[in-house]
Amino acid sequence: MNDMTARARAVFAADRYATELTGIEIASADDHEAACTLTLAAKHCNARGVAMGGVLYTLADFAAAIAANSDCLGSGDLHWVSLDATVHYLSPAPLGARLTARCHALKHGRTTALYQTIIESLDNSKDALRERTVAVVETTMMRV
């Protein structure tokens, strides 16, 4: 684990909704990039037995917050927040799937930034490992 990942885990442990309630884990953090993971439990699924859209959005929003604030992890003084987001739901993710959200900056300016998060699912529930893109999220961030 690199130093930036360790700092991200320490700083974002305070985001109890994402870390404690939802169970998202920070896999890595780097310069304007982040990866987070989540294994889908029953509490994350809708009535159809697949990931609730809000869970996917939370995963993407958390990854974007880490990536956008990567340059202020040392101080713990977070300057970037989500302004808006567009979510493209592409494939269902079933109970037990391991989700990985990889976020990177498309543009990081002085006061606004645009980040893209790709959420992929590794589904091994049907006796065959299968990876697929579940959602693509574009998030506009604003410096506050």
Tens digit of each residue's pLDDT (9 = 90 or more) over 15-62? 999 999 999 999 999 999 999 999 999 999 999 999 999 999 999 999
How many CA within 13 A on the CB side of residue 86?
Answer: 5
Residue 114 in this model has a pLDDT that exceeds 60: yes
In Å, what is the CA distance from 46 to each residue of 23, 90, 131?
A: 17, 16, 21
Q: Specify the pLDDT at position 129.
A: 59
Beta bridge partners of 81: 142
pLDDT bucket at 2, cuts 50 / 70 / 90: confident
Residue 130 in this model has a pLDDT that exceeds 90: no
Residue 127 in this model has a pLDDT that exceeds 80: no
> Taking all residues of the chain, what is their mean pLDDT, rounded to a whole number?
94
Q: Specify the pLDDT at position 131.
A: 82
Which CATH number do you get for residue 31? 3.10.129.10
Domain residues for 70? 3-143
Residue among 67, 125, 133, 64 at smallest CA distance from 100: 133
Least confident segment among 18-22, 61-65, 127-131: 127-131
Helix or strand run (H / E) with residue 22 = none
Count of domains observed in the chain: 1
Residue 125 in this model has a pLDDT that exceeds 60: no
